Amino acid sequence: MLLAVNISVAQESGIDWPEFMSQHDLVWEEIPGQWNEGAFVGNGMVGMMIYANMDENRLDFHVGRQDVTDHRKAPNKKTSMATKGADLYDFSRLDIGRMTLHPAGKIRDIDVRQDLYNAEVRGVIVTDLGQITFRAFTPYEHMINVIEVHSTEEVNGSQADYMWRWMPGLPFSPRIYTRKDIGDYQLNPRPILKKVNGVEVCEQPLLAGGDYATAWLEKAENTTQSIMYVSVANEIPATNVSALVASNTVNIVAATDFNVLIDAHREWWHNYFQKSFLSIPDGRMESFYWIQLYKMAACSREDGPVLDLLGPFFKNTGWPGLWWNLNVQLTYWPFNATNHVDLAENFIALIDDNFDFMLAKKSGADLGDFAWALHNYWLIYSYRGDYDAIAEKWLPKALRVLEVYQTKMITNEQGQIELSAMGSPEYHGFKSFVNTNYNLSLVRWLLTTLIETSNRSNTNQELIGDWKELLDDLIPYPEDENGLMIGSEQPVDMSHRHYSHLLGLYPLFQLDPDQPEVKELVDKSVVHWHKIGDSKGLVGYSYTGAASLYAALGRGNDANSMLQQFLDGNIQSAMLLPNTFYMEGKGRNPVIETPLSAASAIVELVLQSWGGKIRVFPATPDDFQDAVFQDLRAEGGFLVSASRKNGQTEWVTIKSLSGNPCMLKVDDWENIEQTDEGETVTIRKIEDGQFEIDLKKGASICVSRAGNHVSPQIRVIPHPKEEINLYGVKEGESYDQVYEWEVPEFPNW
């Protein structure tokens, strides 16, 4: 059936952004007494975690900068991460230090609010001598942290002075604490305190040469009010340069009109948040989602380093860097569909700059980890709709990864291609298994995507036949009565946190759940994985991963159940913190990917775009009778908006950014019709609920169910009072212990 429609899309917006975002602010009813309870600000490179040390009667502004790492074994580079023979002792993240605020009086209470929309933390420190109010933020365009303070503290009617103090961090790999063995590790030199350009500076030299530096300046507004500027510069491998850069940054920003500085900062964040919109009936889940969007921009920027496990919020941890067997992949998922794909450019740069080294390093049993990372690389360009970049940049890399896989292929007696023993993270530690579903699914994805890309770009035509033959000969996915196995000789026979054997469903979609027999297989596979062994081996990302897997299967209620259990914090040995950060290692090791992957799973309840189809409300739970989203991004380069009301899809709008083929799937629609007049667009019905739309680059369309003409309106789903501002430490919920690694004394340092 062919329909010619005339449309021009205009969506009415009923969003009061400041009011809408304020309901998601983190609000502390108890004093944030440690990193695990802290408030945070950042600009993708530098940032602060803010919390009190009540024993020392102070408020800590713990400063971090993502690219401050050691560079042992690479003295002429900023980091030794991609250096042969280097490990996490050589390129570990380093603790820069903290700016501490010491009131004159004894701290009695601290009220804190993290304002998401304005990207600032405000608080009131109540002491026995009065109050100190503060506001902290990290301007997006400057590598600096800013803290505004106003005091009413008095003694006998006279002003009582608060005090600032810089406390340098220990510039050592925290692995020497977590592994309790310093071995032959050599400590970096002590910091040097000096003045540069009239500004206090803490310069930290490194054994390998070069230094990073922190500069600070307190600018008094009057006798009771001041502004503290704290900048961190990292010009490694250069020596005596970081101090100049940091001090110059402080002087430049301190000379800027404060209101101009704040206005520019807020404008950036307001524009950022308004690039997309999502409102759902579950207030807690909605808040969690928006806090993750804040966290994404606080932790990643286009011109910054790749986002590791910490972001700009340093904490002593056993994992002070980047991990490849799940962490970095999950970290970058939400940037795509939330329409913030520009912030993932640093991941593209990481792969481009280090491809040869990483492929050589990951060419053994863990090759799948790098192949999976290459899927993220492809996915970013797919969401951009940039198939030229996929052909020019991804395809040559994929060919080289496939070449390494081919060295691990063996032809059996039946003429099938098998894979030699390789890893399946992290089953039985790092043991290898024959024909792992993890690697078989990645090989199939590489081959099918190489064929698609080559056909689209009219390249490699002489290889396509070989790839198709290899696909045909590749051994089927090993399975048993419980579904997909780890490998040919290893069933899923214990509770296991990682879903590596299920990658063929999500995120690779080489197992197509639109096919009934495939859906039955992956359905029982997911259920078995999550329930075996009473789920004792699961952690947080096992629940966010299960939510995505169930969403891919269209099981919205089960996906919602997994997310609810994660948000409840019922995640075995792991911890979801009141500031939405996530911990493993007995509450001491931050791993940023898990909460971010929850944001991806939340989006997947309302929008998916795998398999060349824009799938609107594909896994919406029964509890979500109403839901609205605007300008979420779909693969192929589309911005999609839609509304669900009383359990039915009202309308859908699509804007094509790249002019790629557009296939819309809305399960509760049989036929569709235009809602606005404009340029003629051809719609062809493929089957009930599925429509091919001839949408040109830059064009938009709005459609609704046939016979149900509805004008698009973006509205906010209201929440009851008890579902707003749920994050931050609430009354009576402070932790009864401090989750920190014990740091030994270094008497000879």
Q: Would you call 219 helix, strand, or coil by DSSP?
A: strand
Q: What angle do CA 133, 139, 142 make, to 5 degrees?
A: 135
The whole-number average pLDDT for the span 168-173 is: 97
Left (φ > 0), alpha (ψ -120 to 50) or beta: where does 169 sit?
beta
pLDDT tens column, 192-227: 999 999 999 999 999 999 999 999 999 998 889 999
pLDDT tens column, 601-623: 999 999 999 999 999 999 999 99
Could you tell me where the beta strands, DSSP code E, fall in 152-210?
154-155, 158-159, 163-168, 192-196, 199-205
540-552 vs 556-568: helix crossing angle, rounded to 10: 170
Q: Tokens for 105?
A: 């009086």
Residue 7 has pLDDT above 60, yes or no: no
pLDDT tens column, 418-428: 999 999 998 99
pLDDT of residue 8: 43
Left (φ > 0), alpha (ψ -120 to 50) or beta: where does 655 sit?
beta
Could you tell me where the beta strands, DSSP code E, fall in 71-117?
97-102, 107-115
Largest separation between any pair of C-alpha atoms in the chain? 93
pLDDT of residue 707: 87
CA contacts within 13 A on the Cβ side of 217 = 19
Q: Produce one character per residue of 20-42: b if its CB has 16 or more CB atoms within 10 Å, e if not.
A: bbbbbbbbbebbbbbbbbbbbbb
pLDDT of residue 265: 98
Residues near 641 by beta carbon (within 8 Å), at least 6 away in sequence? 11, 629, 630, 631, 632, 652, 653, 654, 712, 714
pLDDT tens column, 432-468: 999 999 999 999 999 999 999 999 999 999 999 999 9
Q: pTM of the predicted model, to two decimals?
A: 0.97
- Residue count (the chain): 749
**Distance separating alpha carbons of residues 359 and 349, to the nearest angstrom:** 15
Contact 704, 7 (CB under 8 A): no
Read off the DSSP letter of residue 210: -
Handedness of CA 509, 512, 518, 523 (dihedral sign): positive
- Domain positions in the chain are 31-273
pLDDT of residue 12: 66
Q: Which of 17, 20, 63 is nearest to 40 (CA)?
A: 63
pLDDT band at 182 (very low <50, low <70, confident <90, very high): confident
CA dihedral 265, 268, 269, 275 (to 10 degrees): 170
Q: Tokens for 597?
A: 């992957």
**Distance separating alpha carbons of residues 451 and 457, to the nearest angstrom:** 10
Residue 3 has pLDDT above 70, yes or no: no
Per cent of the chain over pLDDT 70 is 98
pLDDT tens column, 132-142: 999 999 999 99
Residue type, 109: D
The whole-number average pLDDT for the span 705-715 is: 90
pLDDT of residue 549: 99
pLDDT band at 704 (very low <50, low <70, confident <90, very high): very high
pLDDT of residue 392: 98
* Least confident stretch, 217-226, 250-259, 511-520, 672-681: 672-681
Architecture of domain 31-273: Distorted Sandwich (2.70)
**Distance separating alpha carbons of residues 337 and 610, to the nearest angstrom:** 11
Residues near 687 by beta carbon (within 8 Å), at least 6 away in sequence? none
Contact 315, 330 (CB under 8 A): no
Q: What angle do CA 501, 377, 590 make, to 5 degrees?
A: 65
Residue 575 has pLDDT above 60, yes or no: yes
Contact 35, 582 (CB under 8 A): no
pLDDT of residue 710: 85
Residue 656 has pLDDT above 80, yes or no: yes
Residue 711 has pLDDT above 90, yes or no: no
pLDDT tens column, 666-702: 999 999 997 877 687 999 999 999 999 999 999 999 9
Residue 2 has pLDDT above 80, yes or no: no
Residue 6 has pLDDT above 80, yes or no: no
Residue 5 has pLDDT above 60, yes or no: no
Read off the DSSP letter of residue 342: G
pLDDT of residue 521: 98
Q: Which residues partner with 418 through β-bridges? A: 410
The whole-number average pLDDT for the span 370-392 is: 99
Residues near 61 by beta carbon (within 8 Å), at least 6 away in sequence? 48, 50, 98, 99, 100, 101, 136, 145, 147, 230
